[in-house]
Amino acid sequence: MTQRQRKAVGIVLTLLTLIVWAALGMWIYETWLLGAHNLVHLAFFVLFGLGWVFPAMVVIRWMLKPD
């Protein structure tokens, strides 16, 4: 697979990952954190908001491998 093809697939994978990650975050929030304290909400959204970076780094590293 060429780098150009990996980039095309990587873009789609990154977008799908972000959509699934956001849906998972909403599900966790509505299931367990709906009535929680505001500091719990803040901690959850900061940590969960930064958490998508790690799966994205894997995809981006794979996309940028030389041919």
User: What is the model's pLDDT at position 49?
Assistant: 94
User: What is the model's pLDDT at position 67?
Assistant: 86
Helix (H, G, I), strand (E, B) or coil at 38: helix
Q: Which two tokens stand for residue 45?
A: 């959204």
Enter the DSSP assignment of 37. Answer: -
Enter the DSSP assignment of 32. Answer: I
User: What is the model's pLDDT at position 60?
Assistant: 92
User: What is the model's pLDDT at position 14?
Assistant: 93
Q: Specify the long-range contacts of residues 12-15, CB closer than 8 Å, at least 24 apart.
A: 13/59, 14/56, 14/59, 14/60
10-residue mean pLDDT series, the chain (67 residues): 94 94 96 96 96 91 92
User: What is the model's pLDDT at position 45?
Assistant: 96
